[in-house]
Chain A
Amino acid sequence: MSARLPFLLEIGVEEIPHWMIAPALADVERLFRAVLDENRLEAEGLRLDGTPRRLVLRCEALPARQADREELVMGPPKSAGEGAAVGFARKNGVEIADLSTETTQKGEYFALRRAVAGRETGEILAAALPALIAKIPWPKAMYWTGKDGERFIRPIRWIACLLGDEVVEFGFAGVKAGGNTRGHRQMGADEIVFDHTNYEDRLRKNGVILSAAERRKKILDGIRKLLRGTDLKLAADQALLDDLAYLTEFPTPILGGFDEKFLDLPAEVLTTVMRHHQRYFTLQRADGSMAPNFIAVMNMKTDRQGYVRKGNERVLEARFNDARFFWEVDQQKPLRERIEDLKSVTFQARLGSYHAKTEGIEAGATRMARMLGLDVAAVRRAASLVKTDLTTEMVKELTELQGVMGGLYAKSQGEPETVWRAVYEHYLPQSLEDPIPQTAEGRLLSMADKLDTLEGCFAIGIVPTGSKDPFGLRRAAQGLVKVLVEGRIALSLRELLTAGAEETHRTFAALGIAGYDDAREADGTLKWSRQLWEFLLDRIRYYFRDVRKFKYDEVNAALASAWQTLPDLEDRLFALQMVRETENFEPLAASFKRIRNILKQAQWAEGAVNAALLEAGPERDLFEELSKLEPEVRQASQSRDYLRALQLIATLREAVDRFFDSVLVNAPDESVRANRLALLGRLLSEFSSIADFSEIVTTATTE
C-alpha cells in the first residue's frame, strides 16, 4: 500500500451570500468524490467547512498515488497471422515475444498485457481541480476578470491547496494555488503559513472559526451568558441562527435595547424590523411579552467601547421611528377607503389590478362560504379588504407584512374579529412548514386568493415550467392543498375549480383579456381548466408523498378511487396504510392486479354475473362471499369507515386464492368464460372504489 497524505483545498472568496454556502459545500463534496471515483482514489476522513470568505475541503488521508494496474490491449486475431502481430507489437513499442494470446468468444487474439504505473495524486488533482471549481453551480454567478472570464459566485482572491507538505499547483481565474491562508478581515493577517496539523488553530488565532457548528454554538453560548441574571428570554429562531453563522467568521452576540415607547407598535412590526431587516434576535420578558431589547451578532471579538451596540441601537431607533410614522399615516385613511385605490396597483399586466383580483377572490369566497354555511356577509367584507394594505406605507416598506398589516389595521379600525383575522391570516401558508390559518374565514380567504391566482394565470397561459415559476403558482397550489387537507375542508376541489373556471371564463371573455384561450375539450371542459386540474393533482401527489410520507403506490391507489374531497382522500390513505400491515392485504392486492390484467387482455367491458352458470366449489364460493361482503363494505365505505371496509375486503383473500388455484378463467365454453370475467369485473369495480388495489406494488406481483 502506498503512502497516504492529508489534503486541503481552501477557496478564498469575497463574501459569499450566506444562504448559498452550505449548498455549495455539498456540491464541492459531490464533485470531489466524482474526481476520486474517476481516478480510483479513496479518501479517508473527508470533511467540508465554509465561512463567508472560504470554502474548505479536507481529507485526513489520500493515497499519494494511484495503485499500479495491468492494462490489456487487444490486438489482431491470431488468424491474421504473424505479420499482423509484428505490426501490433511495433505500434506498442514491444517485441513480438512480449505479446500474449487471449481467448474471446470470437476466437484467439494477439494481445498485450502491460503494467501501468499509477499517476501521482497531486498531478491528478492539479488537472482536475480547476474544472471542479468551475463546475460548482451557483444561483447567480458573475465574471470579474473580463468578459468571457471564469464565473463564480464572487471573485476568488486566493486558493490554498496542500497535499502532504506540497502545494498542488494549479490556477483558476488568474489566481495560483499556494500554501498560505488568510485571516479575518479586521482581526487576522493576510499571509498565514500553516500545515495540516495547525490549520484550524492558525485560523482561530487570526479571527476565523472554521466550523459553522462551532460558530452556531458560540452565538448561543454567548447569548446565554448575556441573558444570565436578567429576566429576558430568547425568542428561538433557528433560521436566523443559521444565517448569522454563515454571515460571520467570528460571531459574538451583544445585547442592545430600545425605548419602551416603541412597544406600543404592533409586535409583528417590531419583530419584522428586528428579525428581517436588522437580523436581530428578539427577546421576551418573563410574562411572554416583547422586551425592549435585542441581540445583534457581530463579526468581531468584542465591543469594548460599546460602539457597535450604540450604532445598532441608533439604526433600530431610526427604523422604529419610520415604522411609527407609517403606522400613524396609514391610519388616516381607513382600509375601506382604499379599495378604490387598488385599481392602480397591478397584479399582472394582462390580468389587471388588485381591484379586479379582489373581485375574483370575493366571488370565490362567497361561493365557498355558502357551501360551508359560513357567515357570507363577514366573508365578503373580509374579501373586499383583503388586499387593501398593499396601498399602505407600512407594507410598501415592510412587504413581508402584507396581510398581517391589513389585519392589524382592520382590527384597530373596529372590524369584527372574524373579518380582521381572516385578512390577517390569508397569506398562510406561504411554505409547507407554515401553519394554515386558524379561523374558518381565514382558511377560506386563503383558498379563494390562491385559487383565483391559479385560475387567472392558467387561463392566460402562465404555467410554471421547469424551474421557472415567477408567480409562485406551485407554492399557491401547495398552500391550497395543505389548507384543504389540514383544515379538513369538505369541499370538492374539482367542483370548486369547475365553478371558478367557468366564472373566470365568463369574465375574461367579456373583458376580452389578451391571450385568453377559451378552447374546450370534447367533453366541454375548458382546456386550461383541465391543465390546472392536472397541475393540482401533481401537487396533491407531492403533498401526500413527499410531505406526509405516504408510499407512492398508496397515493396512486387512493387517487384512482372515487374520492370526493381531500380530507376524504386522506382518510382513504390512512386506512390503506394501516391495512397494508395486515397479512392478507398484499397477496390480495397482487390478485387484484392479476384480475385487472386478465380483464384488460380479454377486453372485458361489462356484464352481469349469471349465478346459474357458476361451478360449485371455489367459483361459487367466491361469488357467495363477495355477495355477502358487498353490502357490508358499501355501508362501511359510505360512513367513511375505510379501514373497516378494507379489512372486510382483505378477508376475501382465501376465496380469491382458491379461485385462481383451481378455476380456469379462459374456459373453452364462451358463456362460462364471459360469466367468470363478469365475476372478476364485479369484484374489481366493487372494491376499487375505496382504493385501487391493483396500483399497490407488492413483492408478490409478478406481472
Chain B
Amino acid sequence: MDCYQDTIFKLKTFWARHGCVIQEPYDVEVGAGTMCPETFLRVLGPDPYNVAYVQPSRRPADGRYGENPNRLYKHSQLQVILKPAPADVMDLYLASLEAIGIKLKQHDLKFEEDNWESPTLGAWGIGWQVMLDGLEITQFTYFQQCGGVDLELVPAELTYGLERLTAFLQDRKSVYDIEWVEGASYRDVRFLDEQQFSVYNFEMADVAMLWKLLDLHEAEAQRLIDGYQASEQKQRFPLLAAYDHVLKCSHNFNLLDARGAISVTERVGVIARVRKLAVGVAQAWVDQQQLLRAEVAA
C-alpha cells in the first residue's frame, strides 16, 4: 500500500513524464488550485503550457475543528493544466489512475456532468466529476473563460482531491487515519492546523481587521490595475503582484464569510468587487503578454 506522499510522488512523476512543469504550491492562500497564477493567468493567451502542482486549498467555512472525518479547512489538490488539451486527455487521465495503483478493470468509473463556475474569478468551464465506485475523485474541466476572457486555447484542468483519493486507496473511513508516511498519520501532521484554524476562523478572527485588510488589498490591486493602463513600461509592470493582492482579497472574503460577518446582500457585492479586480488583472495580463510576444518577434 502506498502512503499519502507516495501517491503524490507517483502522480507528479506521471505528469512530469507527460511533459508537465512540476511546480511547488503557490505561497499565497487560495481556495483552490485554479486560483494560482500558474492556472489563472497561464490559461490566458495563445501559449501552450503544461503544469502540475499540489495546492493546499483553504476554505475557512469548511473547517470542522478536525472532528469531521471527511471535511477539512485546508485540503490538498493535485492540479494539472494541459493547455491545449490533447485529444487523448481522457486516456492520459485514466493512465494516471492506473499509475497510482487503481486497477480500472476492477472498479466502476463514471463521468457525470458537472460544469464548473467561479463567479469571483469570472471563470467557467464544462466538464465532469469523475466517480470511482460512487466516490468523486476528480473534477475534470475544459476551461472556456477566465477573468471574463474567452480562452484562445482550451485547457483541460484535472483536479484530484488527494485526501479522498488516498483514503480510497488506503481503505480508510477518515482522512485523519490516512498514513502520510510510515509511522505518521494525516492526523499527526495536520490535526492541529484543522483545530486551531477552525477556532480562529469561526470564533476569533477580528472582523473589523479583516474588512480593513480586504479594503487595503483591494485598493492596492486596483491602484496597480489602473497603473498598468497609464504605464509607459507595460512589459515589466508588476501584474503578478497585483494578482497576489486579488488573492488576498479573496481569502479575506472567505474568512469574513466563515465568521458569519457577511450578509447575503453584502456577499453579492463583495464577490463583484473581487471579480472586478480578477477581470482587470486578466485583461491587463492578456495585453502584456501580447506586448511581450511582439517584443520577441521584433
The reply to whether B70 and A318 contact each other, CB–CB distance below 8 Å, is yes
The reply to whether A300 and B108 contact each other, CB–CB distance below 8 Å, is yes
The reply to whether B115 and A140 contact each other, CB–CB distance below 8 Å, is yes
The reply to whether B264 and A346 contact each other, CB–CB distance below 8 Å, is yes
Docked pose: A247 CA to B113 CA in angstroms:
10
Closest to B168 in A: A311
Interface residues of B in 149-179 (CB under 8 A from A): 150-154, 168, 171, 173
> Known contacts being A18-B113, A52-B111, A187-B105, is A146 close to B154, with CB within 8 Å?
yes
The reply to whether A15 and B111 contact each other, CB–CB distance below 8 Å, is yes
**Which B residues are in CB contact (< 8 Å) with A304?**
106
The reply to whether B110 and A247 contact each other, CB–CB distance below 8 Å, is yes
The reply to whether B126 and A147 contact each other, CB–CB distance below 8 Å, is no
B68: interface (CB < 8 Å) = yes
The reply to whether B133 and A307 contact each other, CB–CB distance below 8 Å, is yes
Docked pose: A278 CA to B133 CA in angstroms:
10
B183: interface (CB < 8 Å) = no
B94: interface (CB < 8 Å) = yes
Docked pose: A287 CA to B151 CA in angstroms:
58
One digit per residue, 1 when the CB lies within 8 angstroms of any chain A CB and 0 when it does not, for chain B 111-128 equals 111010000000000101
Docked pose: A421 CA to B173 CA in angstroms:
37
Docked pose: A324 CA to B150 CA in angstroms:
43
CB distance from B70 to the nearest CB of A (A): 5
One digit per residue, 1 when the CB lies within 8 angstroms of any chain B CB and 0 when it does not, for chain A 109-153 equals 000000000000000000000000000000010111111010000
> Known contacts being A144-B154, A307-B133, A349-B265, is A317 close to B126, with CB within 8 Å?
no
**Which B residues are in CB contact (< 8 Å) with A308?**
106-108, 133
CB distance from B129 to the nearest CB of A (A): 11
CB distance from B114 to the nearest CB of A (A): 9
Taking a contact as CB atoms closer than 8 A, the residue among A155, A278, A353 that contacts B142 in the complex is: A155
- Count contacts on B: residues with CB < 8 A to the other chain: 39
Closest to A317 in B: B173
B289: interface (CB < 8 Å) = no
The reply to whether B126 and A307 contact each other, CB–CB distance below 8 Å, is no
B135: interface (CB < 8 Å) = yes
**Which A residues are in CB contact (< 8 Å) with B109?**
185-186, 299
The reply to whether B110 and A278 contact each other, CB–CB distance below 8 Å, is no
Closest to B106 in A: A307
CB distance from B102 to the nearest CB of A (A): 10
The reply to whether B87 and A157 contact each other, CB–CB distance below 8 Å, is yes
The reply to whether A186 and B84 contact each other, CB–CB distance below 8 Å, is no
Taking a contact as CB atoms closer than 8 A, the residue among B87, B108, B126, B263 that contacts A299 in the complex is: B108
The reply to whether B110 and A299 contact each other, CB–CB distance below 8 Å, is yes
CB distance from A110 to the nearest CB of B (A): 57
A314: interface (CB < 8 Å) = yes
> Known contacts being A144-B142, A308-B108, A349-B268, is A15 close to B128, with CB within 8 Å?
yes
The reply to whether B107 and A307 contact each other, CB–CB distance below 8 Å, is yes
Docked pose: A149 CA to B107 CA in angstroms:
35
One digit per residue, 1 when the CB lies within 8 angstroms of any chain B CB and 0 when it does not, for chain A 42-53 equals 000000000010
A345: interface (CB < 8 Å) = yes
**Which A residues are in CB contact (< 8 Å) with B168?**
311
Docked pose: A16 CA to B264 CA in angstroms:
35
The reply to whether B126 and A140 contact each other, CB–CB distance below 8 Å, is yes
**Which A residues are in CB contact (< 8 Å) with B32?**
none
CB distance from B14 to the nearest CB of A (A): 18
A591: interface (CB < 8 Å) = no
Interface residues of A in 298-357 (CB under 8 A from B): 298-300, 303-305, 307-308, 310-312, 314-318, 321-322, 325, 344-346, 349, 353
The reply to whether B111 and A146 contact each other, CB–CB distance below 8 Å, is no
Docked pose: A144 CA to B152 CA in angstroms:
10
Docked pose: A314 CA to B115 CA in angstroms:
26
The reply to whether B113 and A17 contact each other, CB–CB distance below 8 Å, is yes
CB distance from A140 to the nearest CB of B (A): 7
Interface residues of A in 273-305 (CB under 8 A from B): 278, 296, 298-300, 303-305
**Which B residues are in CB contact (< 8 Å) with A318?**
69-70, 173
A358: interface (CB < 8 Å) = no
Docked pose: A314 CA to B134 CA in angstroms:
9
Closest to B155 in A: A144
CB distance from B293 to the nearest CB of A (A): 16
The reply to whether A144 and B268 contact each other, CB–CB distance below 8 Å, is no
The reply to whether A312 and B110 contact each other, CB–CB distance below 8 Å, is no
The reply to whether A311 and B135 contact each other, CB–CB distance below 8 Å, is yes
The reply to whether A14 and B264 contact each other, CB–CB distance below 8 Å, is no
Docked pose: A612 CA to B1 CA in angstroms:
109
Closest to B103 in A: A307
CB distance from A448 to the nearest CB of B (A): 23
**Which A residues are in CB contact (< 8 Å) with B108?**
296, 298-300, 303, 308, 311
One digit per residue, 1 when the CB lies within 8 angstroms of any chain B CB and 0 when it does not, for chain A 589-600 equals 000000000000
The reply to whether A14 and B90 contact each other, CB–CB distance below 8 Å, is yes
The reply to whether B105 and A186 contact each other, CB–CB distance below 8 Å, is yes
Interface centre among B87, B133, B142, B265 (most CB of A within 10 A): B133
Docked pose: A132 CA to B154 CA in angstroms:
24
B96: interface (CB < 8 Å) = no
One digit per residue, 1 when the CB lies within 8 angstroms of any chain B CB and 0 when it does not, for chain A 492-510 equals 0000000000000000000
B195: interface (CB < 8 Å) = no
**Which A residues are in CB contact (< 8 Å) with B134?**
278, 296, 311-312, 315-316
**Which B residues are in CB contact (< 8 Å) with A345?**
264
Docked pose: A144 CA to B82 CA in angstroms:
12
One digit per residue, 1 when the CB lies within 8 angstroms of any chain A CB and 0 when it does not, for chain B 257-285 equals 00000011100100000000000000000
**Which B residues are in CB contact (< 8 Å) with A346?**
264-265, 268
B144: interface (CB < 8 Å) = yes
**Which B residues are in CB contact (< 8 Å) with A296?**
108, 134
CB distance from A205 to the nearest CB of B (A): 16
**Which A residues are in CB contact (< 8 Å) with B70?**
318, 322
Docked pose: A296 CA to B205 CA in angstroms:
44
Taking a contact as CB atoms closer than 8 A, the residue among A15, A18, A316, A344 that contacts B264 in the complex is: A344
A248: interface (CB < 8 Å) = yes
A216: interface (CB < 8 Å) = no
**Which A residues are in CB contact (< 8 Å) with B286?**
none
Taking a contact as CB atoms closer than 8 A, the residue among B69, B112, B152, B263 that contacts A247 in the complex is: B112
**Which A residues are in CB contact (< 8 Å) with B115?**
140
**Which B residues are in CB contact (< 8 Å) with A144?**
85, 142, 154
Docked pose: A637 CA to B11 CA in angstroms:
80
Docked pose: A307 CA to B173 CA in angstroms:
15
A551: interface (CB < 8 Å) = no
One digit per residue, 1 when the CB lies within 8 angstroms of any chain B CB and 0 when it does not, for chain A 140-175 equals 101111110100001101000000000000000000
Docked pose: A260 CA to B160 CA in angstroms:
32
Interface residues of A in 45-81 (CB under 8 A from B): 52
Docked pose: A304 CA to B107 CA in angstroms:
10
CB distance from B167 to the nearest CB of A (A): 9
One digit per residue, 1 when the CB lies within 8 angstroms of any chain A CB and 0 when it does not, for chain B 72-111 equals 0000000000001101001000100000000011111111
The reply to whether B110 and A248 contact each other, CB–CB distance below 8 Å, is yes
**Which B residues are in CB contact (< 8 Å) with A17?**
113
> Can you report 19 A-B residue pairs in the complex whose CB atoms are below 8 A from each other?
A14-B90, A140-B126, A142-B142, A142-B144, A147-B151, A147-B153, A155-B85, A157-B87, A186-B105, A248-B110, A299-B109, A303-B106, A304-B106, A307-B106, A307-B133, A311-B132, A311-B133, A344-B263, A346-B264
The 6 A-B residue pairs whose C-beta atoms are closest, nearest first, are A311-B133, A17-B113, A15-B111, A346-B264, A298-B108, A312-B134
